[in-house]
Amino acid sequence: MLLMAKSSNESGLRLHVFLARLGLGSRREIEALIEAHKVQVNGRRATLGQKIQPEVDRVRLKGKEVYVPRSPRKSTVLAFHKPRGVLSTKSDPERRTMIMDFLPRSFRSLYPVGRLDLNSEGLILLTNDGELALRLTHPRYEVAKIYEVKIRGNLTDKKIKHLERGVLVENEKYKPAEILSVHDVTKFGVKKYAVVIKVFEGKNHHVRKLFEALACHVIRLKRISMGSINLKGVPRGEYRVVSDSKIRKLREELGLQEEASSQHAG
């Protein structure tokens, strides 16, 4: 255990980033919980800035185990259609409406993967599979996410080429995006476009910042797919239980073939 703790502090993923990716709060909220001694790693009190190895470390939040590496239990994944105005986290001190309010009690132990802004809508995955959640959100795996976006502003061919080459946002180069379709929906002389865009990373306010860097304002944003899981047939505010075969396919796409075959055998 001592060796494990030492390894976690030297390399790996920062704890507050990891827990935020599991939908347990914003990075600042997680940092506050760590400072309040509400987080443990391998039975020891966590510290600010601590790094963990998700493949081996066990994490508890407020006394509850939130992540067990290589859990032997069967993977469960829900595809939830988040409405606008609903938080994509599991808890909120202001008691605003959250995605968990739409789920039956039997699914409330699942964790959301890939947060959406309060004013965005669309696909949120929820799962008990920690490794799957990590790989879906880690930049290294470049999981494709497709969004339907309505923007206000002049989206020229030159700007589209910028998106496809990679846009500089706040002195950081974002990875190239794919523009799948563009439709001019201008009304009353105000330039508006309906765009379908595919991105391969998931930074905070990612798609909004891409268009803002090109002087275009996002007025509506809806995520319709993550990896091979899409939102087709799921009404707003409802969910679909993802089949074992689709979970297996998703795990294989993310390099989890061995675990997929053992977890779903029989």
Q: Assign 6 a pLDDT band (cuts: 50, 70, 90).
A: very low
CB-neighbour burial class of residue 51 (10 A; exposed 0-12, middle 13-18, buried 19+)? middle
Could you tell me the pLDDT band of residue 160, with boundaries at 50, 70 and 90?
Answer: very high
In which band, very low, low, confident or very high, does the pLDDT at 144 lie, cut at 50, 70 and 90?
Answer: very high
Rounded distance between C-alpha atoms, residue 124 and residue 116, angstroms:
8
Residue 55's pLDDT is 64
243 in a structural domain = yes
In percent, the amount of the chain with pLDDT more than 90 equals: 47
Mean pLDDT confidence for 54-61: 79
Pair (209, 101) in one structural domain? no
Cα gap 15→114, rounded to integer Å: 16
Question: Cβ–Cβ contacts within 10 Å for residue 2, how many?
Answer: 8
Average pLDDT of the segment spanning 72-87 = 88
What predicted TM-score, i.e. pTM, was given to this entire model? 0.74
- Asked whether residue 127 falls in the same domain as residue 152, the answer is no
Query: In which band, very low, low, confident or very high, does the pLDDT at 197 lie, cut at 50, 70 and 90?
Result: very high
**Whether residue 215 is found in the same domain as residue 150:** yes
Give residues with Cβ within 8 angstroms of 97, minimum separation 6. Answer: 85, 86, 87
pLDDT at 57: 81
Q: Are 41 and 8 in contact (CB under 8 A)?
A: yes
My answer on whether 220 and 149 are in the same domain is yes
Average per-residue pLDDT in the chain? 85
- In this structure, are 214 and 151 located in the same domain? yes
| Cβ contact 225:79 at 8 Å | no
pLDDT-derived band of residue 69, with 50, 70 and 90 as boundaries? low
Looking up residue 91, the CATH number of its domain turns out to be: 3.30.70.580
In one letter, which amino acid is 138? H
Q: Would you say 175 and 226 are in contact if contact means Cβ atoms under 8 Å apart?
A: no
Q: Structure tokens of 52?
A: 């963990």
Res. 98: pLDDT tops 50: yes
| Domain co-membership, 59 together with 174 | no
Same domain, 22 and 61: yes
The residue from 12, 35, 67 where one domain ends is 67
Distances (CA, A) of 2 to 14, 41, 42, 55, 244: 18, 11, 9, 16, 37
| Res. 260: pLDDT tops 80 | no
The answer to whether residue 233 sits within a structural domain is: no
- The residues that are catalytic are 117
Domain that includes residue 190, residue range? 144-226
